[in-house]
Amino acid sequence: MAFFSIRHGRRVLCSVLALLLGLAPVLSHAQLPSLGDGSDMGAGAERRLGDRIVRELYRDPDYLDDPVLVEYLQGIWQPLLAAARSRGEMSEELQERFAWELLLGRDRMVNAFALPGGYMGVYAGLIAVTDSRDELASVLAHELSHVTQRHISRLITQQSRTTPLMLAAMVLGALAASKSPQAANALIVGGTAVASQVQLNFSRAMEREADRVGYGVMTQAGFDGQGFAAMFEKLQQASRLNDNGAFPYLRSHPLTTERIADMRARVPLASGGAPQRQERGAAAAADAAAAEARLPTVTVSAAFGSLEHALVAARARVISRPDVDALRAWAAEPDQGGFTAQPPRRQKVALYAGALALLQQRDFERARAQAARLAPLVADDAPAARGVRLLSAEIDLRAGIGARAAALVVQGAPSGRPELIYYAEASQHGSGARDVADRLQTWVAGHPRDATAWQLLAVAYRAIGQPLRALRAEAEAQVAHLDWAGAVDRYKAGQELMRRQGGDYIEASIIDTRLREAESRLKEDAAER
């Protein structure tokens, strides 16, 4: 990723002039710096850069806050963060300055990416092709290690060193064009190729480093290191079967034989492990190819992981923008002949995917019927049973049966963010609005970056006649998505309401303080543009 500040741009221009005038030596092949070294970008500058990028991602229509998927990802992400801290991979400065936030995208692409400042993006398509938490953890740990090892800032620094080679070649080529167009083209192409090779070698070294550090992080977090090797093998199989550009992770993370062998060597070979890995990789690759061909299949490799993960992967497949034909095929599969002859696990996954596909098509009655068929089949598996209960509540919620949805989410344990969000959506307008406000206020006190919770809290406050608090909650939702202009607008609306009607002076004081903070951030952003 090539991101340059004004300072970097001036440095590049000076370097080009020095090269042309013979005042500086040509840059030599740059080596990968030791851990923590080689970066000219401070942690604060990297965080600001990340904030600017993520602000745009929050506005993207593909940004997704699916309570079930987000909670599942967080259940993997948080242990990885804790392991990285305990291993000493994060300095105190990084822990304090970086965001360490995870974003989910609604897309079928098998991809995940690290961003400056401690942000990470994950596409639903990646979740859809994994067979276990361990495989998903291996990707998150790898990307997390790119952040903790400062690979992004080091890459920016390296690009600022190699860019003069490309610019100098282009300028020299322009000067030579009048005498020999062939020589000009050779200079331009040659200089670009040299700089590109330097950058490519640098990136590959970073990938190997992220593999090594990521493996240590995921195993210390309690995940099985076999997931790393299995994921590599799966992606390698997918690259053989599918080369239509839908697997960008394969291109940004070159899967060399050396890297795969290194991961295999780190995992003790359990009895019968190799055949199982081969079977798992082949099955997953077949599923991936079928998905890209838009075939309505439920992964046969789901049996290798927990049923909970299989249901989560099925959910990711259904919500990652499939076409109408795929939704119809998923919905129809449980009613086809021979369905009951399939393995029990496959039946459960197919029923979940079918019910969710019917929900996507707004066929609420059939969706509810398939969820009802599934519920007794997973009763002895608590995590899976919870997932089905949440799906049933989601169906009732979208069908407008709020009371039944609220009853479903409050009857079970444990209760997490999905239950809170669904309960708030079901009860925020009626007599339960005050209870919703109390629950959400407690939640945002510990999770101030939860924009969805803040928005729901604003609706609940309006329902119970507290417009000033509602305006502040709307502002905090904008702050959570780094929309400082939107936050300033909402805070000022709160000030205006206080001037006209009076009200809660403590809340008004909080709004005044938060407005000054938002205006300061807005000015900083304007100065950096």
Identify whether the C-beta of residue 465 lies closer than 8 Å to the C-beta of residue 433.
no
Question: What tokens were used for 268?
Answer: 């003790």
Q: What is the pLDDT of residue 284?
A: 41
Distance between CA atoms of residues 249 and 272, nearest Å: 29
Calpha distance 469→460 (Å, rounded): 10
138 neighbors 210 (Cβ within 8 angstroms) = no
Return the pLDDT at 502: 83
Residue 412 contacts residue 388 (beta carbons within 8 Å):
no
175: region left, alpha or beta (phi > 0 left; psi from -120 to 50 alpha): alpha
- The pLDDT of residue 164 is 46
- Termini Cα distance of the chain: 19
In angstroms, the Cα distances linking 113 to 103, 189, 303, 469 are 10, 30, 28, 37
285-323 residues labelled b (16+ CB within 10 A) or e (exposed): bbbbbbbbeeebbbbbbbbbbebbbbbbbbbbbbbbebe
Q: Residues 6 or more apart from 343 whose CB is under 8 A from it? A: 303
Q: What is the pLDDT of residue 298?
A: 33
Residue 204: what pLDDT? 74
101-105/112-115 β-pairing: unpaired
Tokens at residue 75, please? 């259940």
Six-digit token pair at 270?
A: 């359990």
pLDDT of residue 208: 84
In this structure, are residues 491 and 482 in contact, taking their beta carbons and an 8 Å threshold?
no
**Residues 458-482 pLDDT 10s:** 999 999 999 999 999 999 999 999 9
Cα–Cα distance measured from residue 240 to residue 256, given in angstroms and rounded to the nearest whole number: 13
Q: Residue ranges of the chain with pLDDT lower than 70?
A: 1-40, 158-202, 238-258, 268-304, 412-414, 529
Please name every residue paired with 121 in a beta bridge, in sequence order, or none if there are none. Answer: 103, 113
Positive or negative, the Cα torsion across 42, 45, 51, 52?
A: negative
What is the side-by-side strand order in the sheet with 112-115? 63-64, 101-105, 119-123, 112-115
| Predicted pLDDT of residue 506 | 92
Are 55 and 116 contacting, i.e. CB atoms less than 8 angstroms apart? no
Render pLDDT for 88-114 as a digit per residue (tens, 0 to 9): 999 899 999 999 999 999 988 888 888
Q: Considering just the CA atoms, what is the radius of gyration of the chain in Å? A: 26
CA distance 380 to 368: 20
* Sign of the alpha-carbon torsion through 164, 34, 41, 114: positive
User: Counting every residue, how long is the chain?
Assistant: 529
What does the block give as tokens for 282? 């082949």
DSSP state string for 30-87: PPPPPTT-S--S-HHHHHHHHHHHHHHHHHSTTEE--HHHHHHHHHHHHHHHHHHHHT
Q: Which two tokens stand for residue 70?
A: 């987000």
Cis? peptide before 414, omega within 30° of 0: yes
pLDDT given at position 155: 74
**pLDDT at 43 (0 to 100):** 86
pLDDT in tens, 36-69: 445 567 888 889 988 998 999 999 999 999 999 9
DSSP letter at 302 equals G
In this structure, what is the dihedral angle of CA atoms 389, 391, 396, 402, given to the nearest 10 degrees?
70
pLDDT at residue 297, rounded to an integer: 33
Chain centre distance of CA 246: 17
